[in-house]
């Protein structure tokens, strides 16, 4: 199996290489692809060195699966060209997520939808992935009527330039600012650009992607996305209103049985999920599960995950693993 990483030198691309190695993905050859400024750079993978090639030259390579994480513009231009060569594309950008003929996949939730004809597959937004990892089993059993979510998102979700801005501000160093305001010791109620409806693109991703992945547009979703000066992962405060009656114990029991979810919920011992503990892990952590006494049959949850791993690289690789395991790669 020959795997290409498009955006191999970026934060998520580098994480993909790391996770492919960790998970012992069966690979004959890695093809690291990046912009022309990274051409010729050497990438270490499983004890071997591979030379970065520009995307313009990459279609000359023998590739089975291409993992894209180089932004929507690159994906829109190049994913169809890879598809025409018979290459399976799993795209981590927003380019294809809401296209009607492209599947938006979290393997634990809707991987069963995948078919060999799916040559372009979309990876959901990081915040959506961790939220739905916790909410999908609840929705399946108790039917979610409404979701109110506030996110507290790591600067790593913006990329290396955002990490540099935070570090520069912490150390009083002048440098490029990727955010419109200081992020050090601050919280910005803006992730991505504002739309005409007053919400940001990130907030609307949580709305639209939830409807698509759960195949249920009746769920009401209201989102506020906030950028915070942390590195380890995203945190989310989530309030849900259910159609079917249940209790905290049932929700706790259900989540404890859910693959990829870890419940950390013992307030008496100050045990609850935190980004600093989620960093470097693939699981989604859930805690602070409690009844909302202001509205009938409603509950609050606190959901945390490493956005570069399960929120991006790990989920992308899990999709590739699903394709291989189920013999869906057809040339």
CA distance 331 to 121: 16
Name the pLDDT band for 258 (thresholds 50, 70, 90). very high
pLDDT at 153 over 80: yes
What domains can you pick out in the chain, each with its CATH number?
2-125+312-325 (3.40.50.720), 127-307 (3.30.360.10)
pLDDT digits (tens, 9 = 90+) for 293-320: 999 999 999 999 999 999 999 999 999 9
Q: What is the DSSP letter of 313?
A: I
> What pLDDT, on a 0 to 100 scale, did the predictor assign at position 265?
98
pLDDT band at 249 (very low <50, low <70, confident <90, very high): very high
38-93 per-position pLDDT tens digit: 888 999 999 999 999 999 999 999 999 999 999 999 999 999 999 999 999 999 99
Instruction: Report the DSSP pairing between strands 144-153 and 234-242.
Output: antiparallel
Q: What integer pLDDT is reported at residue 331 of this predicted model?
A: 67
**Residues 46, 191, 234, 248: which is the catalytic one?**
234
- Tell me the percentage of the chain whose pLDDT exceeds 70: 100
184 included as an active-site residue: no
pLDDT, averaged across the chain? 97
Given the residues 126, 184, 191, 211, the one annotated as active site: 126
Buried b (16+ CB within 10 A) or exposed e, 195-215: eeeebbebbbbbbbbbebbbe
126 given a catalytic annotation? yes
Distance, in Å, from the CA atom of 85 to the CA atom of 71, rounded to the nearest integer, reads: 21
Of 303, 302, 304, 269, residue with least CA distance to 288: 302
* Amino acid 38: pLDDT: 86
Query: What average pLDDT does range 155-164 have in this prediction?
Result: 96
User: Residue 35's pLDDT band (boundaries 50, 70, 90)?
Assistant: confident
């Amino acid at each position: 199996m020959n795997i290409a990483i498009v955006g191999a030198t970026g934060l998520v691309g580098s994480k993909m290489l790391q996770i492919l190695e960790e998970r012992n993905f069966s690979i004959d050859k890695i093809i690291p692809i990046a912009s022309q400024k990274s051409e010729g750079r050497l990438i270490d993978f499983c004890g071997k060195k591979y030379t970065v090639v520009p995307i313009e030259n990459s279609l000359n390579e023998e590739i089975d699966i291409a993992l894209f994480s180089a932004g929507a513009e690159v994906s829109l231009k190049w994913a169809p060209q890879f598809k025409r060569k018979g290459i399976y594309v799993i795209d981590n950008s927003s380019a294809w997520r809401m296209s009607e003929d492209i599947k938006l996949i979290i393997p634990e939730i809707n991987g069963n939808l995948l078919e060999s004809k799916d040559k372009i597959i979309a990876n959901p937004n990081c915040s959506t992935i961790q939220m739905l990892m916790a909410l999908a089993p609840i929705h399946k059993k108790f039917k979610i009527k409404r979701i109110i979510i506030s996110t507290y998102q790591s600067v790593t979700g913006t990329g290396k330039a955002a990490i540099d801005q935070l570090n520069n501000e912490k150390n009083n160093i002048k440098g490029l600012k990727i955010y419109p305001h200081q992020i050090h010791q601050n919280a910005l109620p803006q992730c991505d650009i504002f739309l005409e409806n007053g919400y940001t693109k990130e907030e609307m991703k949580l709305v639209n992607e939830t409807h698509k992945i759960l195949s249920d547009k009746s769920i009401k979703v209201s989102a506020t996305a906030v950028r915070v000066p942390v590195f380890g992962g995203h945190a989310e405060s989530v309030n849900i209103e259910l159609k079917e009656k249940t209790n905290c114990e049932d929700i706790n029991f259900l989540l404890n049985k859910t693959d990829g979810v870890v419940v950390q919920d013992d307030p008496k011992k100050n045990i609850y999920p935190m980004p600093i503990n989620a960093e470097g892990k693939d699981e989604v952590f859930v805690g602070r599960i409690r009844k909302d006494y202001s509205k009938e049959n409603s509950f609050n949850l606190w959901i945390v995950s490493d956005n570069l791993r399960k929120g991006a690289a790990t989920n992308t690789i899990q999709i590739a693993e699903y394709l291989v395991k189920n013999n869906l790669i057809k040339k």
